[in-house]
């Protein structure tokens, strides 16, 4: 897993709340109600992150989720057509998301949670399919894991000790 610290101070981040859940903890005096918010942030230019916030009030949970997401922003490898560089399956828990390269003009063909991540990452031509679990949190994290593990042709060439032209030949 690659960890690169990305300076978010000069980025114009857009946020999207994917889901808000009410969670209950049974304690001695009764029930403790809290809210968890799954938030995705991105600049629509190759940077995206997801975070989870928990609090007794919904706005506070969203704020905490946004803070968590900005700490976990990743770079997304894209090709000149604003698609992914190659087909890949992102996995997280029992959720799998198939990310397929698409030609110019395709648009984003993806389900709700994966669509939020891909839109905020700035990927505009892609086909995505959620396989396995439909848990929104795991689908979002599987999509981000797939985007994190994408490699550019330059990276593949460098790893193999070849030129970019030899890779495509």
Q: What is the pLDDT of residues 79-122, one digit of tens each?
A: 888 899 999 999 999 999 999 999 999 999 999 899 999 999 99
CATH number for the domain whose boundaries are 75-161+164-168: 3.30.230.10
Domain residue spans of the chain: 14-74, 75-161+164-168
Q: Which CATH architecture has domain 14-74?
A: 2-Layer Sandwich (3.30)
CA distance 28 to 53: 25
DSSP state of 80: T
In whole angstroms, how large is the CA radius of gyration of the chain? 18
Q: Do domains 14-74 and 75-161+164-168 have the same CATH topology?
A: no
Is a pLDDT exceeding 80 seen at residue 40? yes
Is residue 9 a contact partner of residue 155, using CB atoms and an 8 Å limit? Answer: no
Which helix (H) or strand (E) covers residue 154, if one does?
helix 153-160
């Amino acid at each position: 897993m690659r960890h690169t610290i990305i300076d978010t101070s000069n980025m114009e981040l857009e946020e999207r709340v994917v889901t808000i859940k009410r969670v209950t903890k049974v304690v001695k005096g009764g029930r403790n109600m809290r809210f968890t918010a799954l938030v995705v942030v991105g600049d629509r230019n190759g940077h995206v992150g997801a975070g989870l916030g928990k609090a007794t009030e919904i706005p506070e949970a969203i704020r905490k989720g946004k803070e968590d997401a900005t700490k976990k922003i990743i770079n997304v490898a894209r090709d000149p057509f604003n698609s992914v560089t190659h087909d890949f399956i992102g996995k997280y828990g029992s959720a799998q998301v198939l990310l397929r390269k698409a030609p110019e003009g395709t648009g984003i063909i993806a389900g709700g949670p994966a669509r939020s991540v891909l839109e905020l990452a700035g990927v505009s031509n892609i086909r995505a399919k959620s396989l396995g679990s439909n848990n929104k949190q795991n689908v979002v994290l599987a999509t981000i894991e797939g985007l994190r593990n994408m490699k550019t042709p330059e990276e593949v060439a460098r790893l193999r000790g070849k030129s970019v032209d030899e890779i495509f030949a």
